[in-house]
Amino acid sequence: MAASLTSVVMQFLTPEVISQIASFLGLDRAVTQKAAAGTVPSLLAGLSDLVESPTGANQFSRLLSQQPTGSPLDLLRDAGAKGLAETGTSMLAGLFGGRTMETMAQAIGKFAGVGDTGAKSLLGLLGPIVLGALGQHQRASGLDANGLVSLLRSQKDQIVAAIPPNLSDQLGAAGLIDRAEAGVRSGMAAASGAASGAASAAQRVSSTAGRASTQWPYWVLALAVLGGLAWYALQGTGQQKVAEAPAVTTTRPATGTVGMAPSDLTVDGVNLANQINASVNTLKTALPSITDGPAAQAALPKINDAIAQLNDISTKAAKLSPEGRSTLAKLILVVKPSIDQMCDKVLDTPGAGTIAKPAIDDLRAKLDALSKA
């Protein structure tokens, strides 16, 4: 299973790199490490939003191709910390806009206690390092530009989950991230990494929690367990100790997302977990937008696109091993209750239910079939 992009980038921030950045900023090393651990996922979250549009994806791909291939220490040595910060600040302002950069710097400065100016310089320093790390990961993984863009999109919620709680609250309040949209995909990410134990664990927690409160939907409880399992699995890597993003606590919503599926979910070079993720993304956008008849008509193309993706998944799933089909079924079982809830709401909407019903019936049939290993 490929590491999360947040982890990939954080591994480039070795103690020596953190020390050099701290020296330039005039900060304590521990404070710099804390600030970097919040800045890296914040930048990645911004990039994952950027590549949602074709224009942003092209802009990102062009910029990535222009990045140097050296290590962060090479960048700091060749350009100098001041030169790298100025270059990175200009680059990020071009990507995100000056106002977004200022808002992000204010949030990071307040979170880490480094002030707006220190946070802006840190953003400028880390921007080229983040893009350089992504470029190296792209080359090492044999991904083309579209492959890395797809990976960024698919890991959006996992990236948001890596942002420390206090910082993510500030970024969310400023409209820079949307923490509310994360739930479904986090369950899929965790199930990809720990599918064999996730279903039974979720069932146990659901049963126990059900006795305490009948108001918690099963899928919320399942996602909480799955997110915990994914966190546990990520902590097991024996990498060189580097600056690490804080672990996501159990009091926060599980906001991971599918990154790369295990090898038994890859068919003909296609990651089926990521395809499911894309389908769920489409449905989470289309179904809640249906509020009346015209909205239902407008949403039908997106719903049918998701159904077509599920058809393709079903065809490819026939080539999976029995274990792979079982894992795939668990992914569907995690997300199916929430999709059913959205579908029920659409069917109960006056003027929209009758229009959307044929597509919803088809969608549910596809999900039912895929949920059976």
3-state secondary structure string, 271-339? EHHHHHHHHHHHHHHHHHHCCCHHHHHHHHHHHHHHHHHHHHHHHHHCCCCHHHHHHHHHHHHHHHHHH
Judged by DSSP in three states, 266 sits in strand
For position 116, what pLDDT does the model report? 92
- For 249, which DSSP code? P
Cβ-contact 290, 296 below 8 angstroms:
yes
Name the residue type at position 373.
Answer: A
For 78-126, the pLDDT digits (tens) are 888 888 889 889 889 888 888 888 999 999 999 999 999 999 999 999 9
Tokens linked to 189:
């990410």
For position 264, what pLDDT does the model report? 58
Cα(355)–Cα(346) distance, integer angstroms: 10
If one counts every other C-beta atom within 10 angstroms of the C-beta of residue 197, the result is: 12
Cα(340)–Cα(323) distance, integer angstroms: 26
Cα(162)–Cα(15) distance, integer angstroms: 20
Cα(112)–Cα(294) distance, integer angstroms: 47
For position 182, what pLDDT does the model report? 40
Cα(119)–Cα(145) distance, integer angstroms: 30
Cα(47)–Cα(131) distance, integer angstroms: 10
For position 220, what pLDDT does the model report? 43
- For 114, which DSSP code? S
- Indicate whether this model's pTM tops 0.75: no
For position 74, what pLDDT does the model report? 85
Cα(346)–Cα(360) distance, integer angstroms: 9
Residue spans of the chain under pLDDT 70: 1-3, 178-264, 373
**251-255-261 Cα angle (round to 5):** 135
Cα(219)–Cα(360) distance, integer angstroms: 20
Name the residue type at position 135.
Answer: G
Burial class (CB in 10 A: 0-12, 13-18, 19+), 200: exposed
Cα(27)–Cα(30) distance, integer angstroms: 8
